[in-house]
Structure 1
């Protein structure tokens, strides 16, 4: 993965890139991006949703992560209205699921090749763009959440065939993977993978070998649940004693320490913390300025990884 240059340190608007500059699908982006899923909470206040996205850009964020299934297209609509071509923001989407308002969970899987193609077309239509720079294929090989059953059990090769076809057609610029195992990633490498999104945090480090492979292959590592989650008992980074101690000594918050640790841990890590609150957004961006000295890093690195105990739906 090529190292960012001095000219990469600012966005198109001239703002310093939040968290510094990283690389995603061969372009410079802010290492702290924005996960747009929680914008759905602002469905009753479109003005607030657009204002939050504009604040992202003001704060030096030029990497926004979305999906058509976030809010049945509402989130993509807000991105379409808020983000201007001159902002040069990299809007990344994902496919592999669709809304399920009447089900036990708000999502159901949509893994079949024709469903992946339809999802890309729906993203293009709602965002009103000719190409999505990167689309992540959300699989279910690992991590918390749904598991494929019945006709949703689809071979990786069949899925990559349609994703590469969409790339060849110019409808997507690059392919990413989400919820994948190390073996699946290795199998997918010949197709050209630009990004991996897996559940990963200071307390959930089972994928360390995969992170290392991504670094070697120039693949961006974009963890979801970067601070853990209440989801199925996933440990919360902000409750970890070493994190609390570091935050107290640094005069920052435990959440900022958890995010800063990820940025320090590997140069190919990009973050997409989400929020619907402007103050929380600004706090996440400030995590990019938190410096962890060697002693603090050692203390954090030795915190036990407990992700192997996570239950699955």
Structure 2
């Protein structure tokens, strides 16, 4: 059994994947909203990193056409890595927001512009059909996503997309989308320090409906796109010491314990951190440890 298989599997439609995946944003050297994630990653090193992930059982990758910096494109690196990898890897991308060639962010695309975004992902990834496309809702509010999701459903019917998902949404958006086409995954910010999806009932809703819940920022938490800061939470450090694990592994394990439908897509450009992230799938936390981690942060001393 591969290291990534230790956490079990889940199905994205008809695509079965190990619950530990990989988030490709950091391959570009920049965070999604422009926060620095370090310098540009050498292409050959990035390909080796992805091959290492695949070799450890990571069989799904999260990406987007707007994950690029002046020197690197996540999709281009993934394309290059997969061109010399013989086993199938599920690629999950997203559309909705856009960036100009010089990197400036644009407002949410119109429904009629989504086909162009899907075709750009197809071109960059070198594919004829995208495994999963998430509609990423851009901005606050409870606005309808029916027109946008309907446009993607048409592309699914046309054979350009295999499965559809959602990102940055609330329960009412999931309900609205499911009246149009099946939803195989929901990708929202979620982690030990960021539990809005618990308060809204989104995590439980996804479980009840057989939808994968895929948190981003599970390790970096309130740091968002920036690399995770030095761990300051005494609860996390206590559990990490008990298992001889890293704080990041404990945060990932806590997230995966939230339900068998919860996946993880931690991103890193460090091979050692990659191995640690994958190994977190085998970390089993006791009920007492989960209870400790679930206590409010202000109830624990920081260290």
TM-score, scaled relative to structure 2: 0.85
Q: In the alignment, what sits opposite 2:115?
A: 117
* Contact 2:21 2:58 (8 Å CA) reproduced: yes
The answer to whether the 8 A contact 2:22-2:61 is kept is yes
Q: Partner of 1:175: helix, strand, or coil?
A: strand
Q: Distance in 1 between matches of 2:215 and 2:225?
A: 17
Which aligned pairs between 1:279-298 and structure 2 lie closer than 5 A?
A: 279-298=272-291
How many corresponding residue pairs? 281
Q: 1:141 to 1:182 in 2, by over 3 A?
A: farther
- Contact 1:64–1:89 under 8 Å retained in 2: yes
* Equivalent residues in 2 for 1:57-96, closer than 5 Å: 57-71=54-68, 74-84=73-83, 86-96=86-96
Shift, 1:237, TM fit: 9.8
Q: Which runs of 5+ in 2 are unaligned?
A: 30-38, 299-303
Selected match of 1:26 from 14, 17, 27: 14
Scaled by the length of structure 1, what TM-score is found?
0.82
- Deviation of 1:205 after TM superposition, in Å, equals 1.5
Q: Distance in 2 between matches of 1:101 and 1:230?
A: 26
Aligned counterpart for 2:196 among listed residues 206, 211, 221:
206
Structure whose residues are more often helix by fraction: 1
Match among 239, 252, 256 for residue 245 of structure 2? 252
Query: 2:7–2:281: 8 Å Cα contact kept in structure 1?
Result: yes
The answer to whether the Cα contact below 8 Å between 2:7 and 2:20 also exists between their aligned partners in 1 is yes
Unaligned residue ranges in structure 1 (runs of 5+)? 1-8, 148-152, 306-313
CA distance in 1, matches of 2:126, 2:224: 33
2:301 maps to none
Query: In the alignment, is the contact (CA less than 8 A) between 1:20 and 1:31 conserved in 2?
Result: yes
Identify which of 172, 176, 186 aligns with 1:183. 172
Write the distance in 1 (CA, Å) between the matches of 2:291 and 2:118: 43
1:169 aligns to what?
Answer: 158
Q: CA RMSD in A?
A: 2.6
Bigger Cα displacement from structure 2, 108-117 vs 288-297: 108-117
Sort the Cα spacing of 1:123 and 1:276 in 2 relative to 1 into closer, same or farther, 3 A. Answer: same
Indicate the residue corresponding to 2:32 in structure 1: none
